[in-house]
Amino acid sequence: MRNTIRFDWAIKRLLRNKANFVILEGLLSELLGEEIKIESILESESNKQSIDNKMNRVDVLVQNSKGELVIIEVQSNYTHDYLMRMLFGTSKLVVDNMAEGMVYTKIKKIISVNIVYFDLGHGDDYVYHGTTSFTGIHKHDLLNLSANEKRIFNAEQIERLYPEYYIIKVNKFDDISKNTLDEWINFLKNEEVKPGSKAKGLPEAKVELDKLKLSKEAMMEYEADLTIWRDTQSLMSTQFMEGEMKGIEKGEANKEKYAEEKEKQKAIEIAKKCKQKGLPVKEIAELTGLSEDQINQI
Please write the tens of the pLDDT for every residue from 33-42: 999 998 887 7
| pLDDT band of 224, cuts 50, 70, 90 | low
Q: Give me the mean pLDDT over the 37-61 stretch.
A: 60
Q: Helix/strand/coil (H, E, C) string of 182-228?
A: HHHHHHHHHCCCCCCCCCCCHHHHHHHHHHHCCCHHHHHHHHHHHHH
| pLDDT greater than 80 at residue 133 | yes
Mean pLDDT, the chain, rounded, equals 81
- How big is the CA angle at 110 (ends 30 and 149), to the nearest 5 degrees? 110
If you count them, how many residues does the chain have?
A: 298
Q: Give me the mean pLDDT over the 253-265 stretch.
A: 72
| pLDDT greater than 60 at residue 103 | yes
| Angstrom distance (rounded) from CA 78 to CA 119 | 8
| pLDDT greater than 60 at residue 47 | no
Least confident of 42-51, 169-178, 186-195, 200-209: 42-51
User: Residue 222's pLDDT is what?
Assistant: 54
Q: Give me the mean pLDDT over the 53-79 stretch.
A: 79
| Angstrom distance (rounded) from CA 298 to CA 279 | 14
Least confident of 18-32, 124-138, 142-156, 243-257: 243-257
What dihedral angle (degrees, nearest 10) is formed by the CA atoms of 178, 170, 24, 156? 70
